[in-house]
Structure 1
Amino acid sequence: MRYIISLLLASTALPAAILPAMAEVPRVVTDIPPVHAITAQVMGDLGQPELLLDRGANAHSYQMRPSQAASLADAGLVVWIGPEMTPWMERALDGLSPDVPRLGLLAAEGTHLQEYGDISAHDHSDDDHAGHDHGHDDHDHAEEAKAEAHDHDHDDHAGHDHGHDHDGHSHTGVDPHAWLDPANASVWAGAIAAELSRLDPENAATYAANAEAAKAGFAALDAELAATLAPVADKPFVVYHDAYGYFASHYGLTVAGSVALGDASSPGAARLRELSATVAGGGALCLFPEGQHDPALVTQMADGTSARIGAALDPSGSTIEPGPDAYGALMRALATTIASCLNG
């Protein structure tokens, strides 16, 4: 009798032993809060992506802790903006996990890219933006960014020489703050779903459905923000650094200038004099500091003028609670902060 029972148990266990193991949901690591939020929406209940950037930290010059480096090395997929935004992450990826699949969102097909400097062109409008070709046919710089991005086949990460230095976070060429255009958030949701489906085909339908739900949410968010910002589109303002080109372009806002070109750069005397003259002449109704930077320059520039000082802007969402809702919270905070000051 015992022999028969043993045979029955063995026979029922045998199929499980010879069946292929079910694919696991990839362990996903992301760089900055908006990327983490979009990825979390696509993954849904299947898993939680990890966010490397600590709350309140500077995305351009972050230093990972050993535990975070270990997480990166053990990742099944890395979703990030690209080396233009987080050069420290490129070095870590090439050193710690050269063979881990990585999805650089600036190189995702359909991403709308623009160059630094577009922020002060003063000719952006919703109609102009609506006519943008998101296939990049007219954007040579977009193709250059794609050429520089890591190959999505993941065969040549090791020893890959990018031929350019991102350490200084140069403020020429492609502006990496592309998440501030909600159309890009929709494109990226689709790209993330496609990559997750490639790695985890058993859950492909769930990833696709989650991405479609995310896109619908981004469209509703876009309409909401457009209504908030339309009344102040022609009112000029000054920002702390040149990170708002996509946001200004998409919503037709009028940015009179930026105090500094980048997070890591200090404004020159000539630049400050020129911008101060603009503010003193009534060329900016509001000046917006950023939480990671000393507001003294903004305060000094506004002194003795009619310009108002708005609340601090947070373009990367570094002060917002991470999670799937963080992207909407980030974008709403920018829109309401800007509109509140400009409306007086």
Structure 2
Amino acid sequence: MSCYYISLISAVMLYNHMVFRMSRMRLALSLTVALTGAPAFADAPKVAADIAPVHALVARVMEGVGAPDLIVQPGASPHEYSLRPSEAAALQNADLVFWIGPDLTPWLGDTLETLAANAVVSALLDAPETIKLDLRENALFEAHDHSDHDDHGDKQHADHDHEEHAHDDHAHDDHAHDEHAHDDHDDHAHGDHAHGAHDPHAWLSPRNASNWLNVIAAQLSAADPENASLYFANAAEGRAEIETLIDTVNATLAPVRGGEFIVFHDAYQYFEVDFDFPAAGAISLSDASDPSPARIAEIQGRIADQAVSCVLTEPQFNPGLVATVLDGTEAQTGILDPLGSDLEPGPALYPLLIGNLATALAACM
């Protein structure tokens, strides 16, 4: 037998041996994941997310590969936050960072430029797939025609340009200044943490969350092509879970639909639009400042005029303010938590967060 054929046979045998070893390694890794839950790949990208709901969506897409780091811890306000050393290290080591954007966490922008200069940073509020709503400037929400939101997937509102709004160059127009000057600038508290024209609480739209799963999967796949199929499979499963969640929330709200409620601060517009359940107003437009006496009187008038049955607070706010608003009324009170501060961070947090909002709202009505 010639040396050529001997070499060819040896090469084939070596190749088959390598394939066999690789197959055994993959099988061992799969068994390790199945038995211990440990990630199958040691070189998973290092990922950080700003708030717990975004972290949950990223964690859902990364299941079976790795887990992201959470920057703003549960129970803390995302508008003002001091990084812990471990959180700063997570940003410094990150390959990818997912955040809502500077409209929610203005302090994080410079931090990302400094600590995560080498990371791929994705501001989800700026993603083309994101459905965006304009900031509301009045504590008493007027009825809106949301017919252009019937199909939330069409992003019609996301394509609104600034020519359509009087606050093209300014967050608040002259009329708003004149009409609400008595509120000691309370109407402009959004400016403390929202510098754009859009409401930054976009994660409270499950439609946005569903869209973001694909955005997250695409970014992870670009950084880690080996696991692209798993990322997109996880995103597809997550989207299916959100569709089920939407049906569940609609069923929860159906018995009380049409009821009137007041929220503590204007954070729930996306939830209201997705589920066609508008709030009648907010005690404060922002959680950055307390409402003025004029604002409280205005809200009390709305409660009386529209037979508001529910005033909702949030875990981190002083319940005494809600007691003041409720004084002399028959409205009930409940608690909404837009960040899931009492939930365990991880892939299960997002559906629990949205489901809990619906349950608390229905119970209060």
Scaled to the shorter chain, the TM-score interval is 0.7 to 0.9
Instruction: Give 1:139 shift.
Output: 1.3
Instruction: Give 1:271 shift.
Output: 1.4
CA distance in 1, matches of 2:91, 2:57: 19
CA distance in 2, matches of 1:181, 1:47: 26
| Residue-by-residue CA offset, 1:142-198 (whole Å, 9 max, x unaligned) | 9x9xxxxxxxxxxxxxxxxxxxxx982147720011111111011000000000000
The 3-state SS of whatever aligns with 1:205 is: helix
Query: What is the TM-score of this pair, normalised by structure 2?
Result: 0.77
CA distance in 2, matches of 1:91, 1:137: 26
Change (3 A) 1:233 1:121: farther
Stretches of structure 1 lacking an aligned partner (at least 5 in a row): 1-11, 16-21, 145-165
- Residue of structure 2 equivalent to 1:84: 103
- Residue of structure 2 equivalent to 1:9: none
* Aligned partner (choices 50, 70, 73) of residue 92 of structure 2: 73
Stretches of structure 2 lacking an aligned partner (at least 5 in a row): 1-13, 19-40, 166-189
- The 8 Å contact of residues 38 and 189 in structure 1, kept in 2 or not, is answered as yes
Instruction: Give 1:88 shift.
Output: 2.0
- Residue of structure 2 equivalent to 1:320: 343
The 3-state SS of whatever aligns with 1:238 is: strand
* Aligned partner (choices 58, 72, 76) of residue 77 of structure 2: 58
> Which structure's CA Rg is the greater one?
2
- The 8 Å contact of residues 269 and 278 in structure 2, kept in 1 or not, is answered as no
The 3-state SS of whatever aligns with 1:280 is: helix
- The 8 Å contact of residues 171 and 262 in structure 1, kept in 2 or not, is answered as no
| Residue-by-residue CA offset, 1:255-311 (whole Å, 9 max, x unaligned) | 11101111112212221111111123343110011111101111111122111112x
The 3-state SS of whatever aligns with 2:192 is: coil
Change (3 A) 1:136 1:279: closer
CA distance in 2, matches of 1:275, 1:267: 10
- Residue of structure 2 equivalent to 1:211: 235
Change (3 A) 1:309 1:61: same
The 3-state SS of whatever aligns with 1:46 is: coil
Q: Is 2:132 aligned against 1:108?
A: no
Give the root-mean-square deviation of aligned CA atoms: 2.5
CA distance in 2, matches of 1:44, 1:299: 43
- Residue of structure 2 equivalent to 1:274: 298
CA distance in 2, matches of 1:172, 1:97: 23
Q: Is 2:143 aligned against 1:122?
A: yes
- The 8 Å contact of residues 124 and 252 in structure 1, kept in 2 or not, is answered as no
1:122 maps to amino acid: A
**Greater helix share, structure number:** 2
Change (3 A) 1:171 1:89: closer
- Residue of structure 1 equivalent to 2:7: none
TM superposition outliers: structure 1 runs of 4+ over 6 Å: none
* Aligned partner (choices 51, 54, 79) of residue 35 of structure 1: 54
CA distance in 2, matches of 1:167, 1:262: 9
| Residue-by-residue CA offset, 1:238-265 (whole Å, 9 max, x unaligned) | 0000000000111111311101111112
CA distance in 2, matches of 1:282, 1:195: 47
- Residue of structure 1 equivalent to 2:279: 255
Query: What is the TM-score of this pair, normalised by structure 1?
Result: 0.81
1:43 maps to amino acid: M
- Residue of structure 2 equivalent to 1:222: 246
Instruction: Give 1:124 shift.
Output: 5.4
